[in-house]
Amino acid sequence: MAVPFSPFPRWPLWKDIGVKVDKDPGKSSGIGYNAFHMDLVNVTRPPDYTTLLCVRPDPLGGGRTILSDAHAAVARLSENGRALLAESAYRYGTFFDLFGVGEEYKPFPILAGAEPGEEFVRFTAKMLERSQLGRAHADAARELARELVGGQVSFMLQAGDYLVVNQRRFLHGREALGCGQDAVPVADRRLLLQMFLRAPAGASPAAQHR
């Protein structure tokens, strides 16, 4: 289906996503709500797929995975909103020691000019809090964030479940973990393994919706 690769030379092919109670709650290894995003949003060649293997679910019953069809959400936006999202006005993240993902993309448009359904929707809700955006562009991104939440599905990954997310179609995130994580031994906390995939040359990852 696709070729595994690691964009982070300092980490192994499978990257641990554990739980750290002292980390930013909105990060992948935090304990709070992880808002909708695509991985490596600020590179010219993001991974076509991001995948998650569940080793242990949250013993406190939280951390449901959330997915939303990004192209369906965009289709529900106002014409003015889509026009603003197509402008190169958005920034998020850093670019350091990366492999196989092209160059830094800053600023970038949320909506690129490729054929409908083929392009990445370059979005992370975190840019709304951690990037300096003009009011009009921020409002357009918030409109998209609301549509993503409105169209989301959620489910609990169980031990052994392997989720493959087509980044050209879906954005993903996570609901908050169960309260009381600091009382759970580290060895018993939620644990996922993440790996990235690149579509083979000539293949169209957008055609594989799930």
The Cα–Cα gap between 190 and 54 comes to 8
pLDDT value of position 163:
98
pLDDT value of position 43:
97
The Cα–Cα gap between 178 and 181 comes to 7
Helix (H) or strand (E) holding 73: helix 70-75
pLDDT value of position 85:
97
Phi-psi region of 93 (alpha: psi -120 to 50; beta: other; left: phi over 0): left
Range of the domain at 184: 3-207
3 state SS of 160 = coil
Distances (CA, A) of 39 to 4, 50, 73, 166, 188: 15, 7, 18, 11, 26
pLDDT value of position 127:
92
CATH of residue 106:
3.60.130.10
pLDDT value of position 209:
46
Per-residue pLDDT tens for 124-166?
A: 999 998 778 999 999 999 999 999 999 999 999 999 999 999 9
Per-residue pLDDT tens for 11-28?
A: 999 999 999 999 999 999
Q: How confident is the model at residue 51 (pLDDT cuts 50, 70, 90)?
A: very high
Domains contained in the chain, number:
1
pLDDT value of position 130:
78
The Cα–Cα gap between 192 and 56 comes to 7
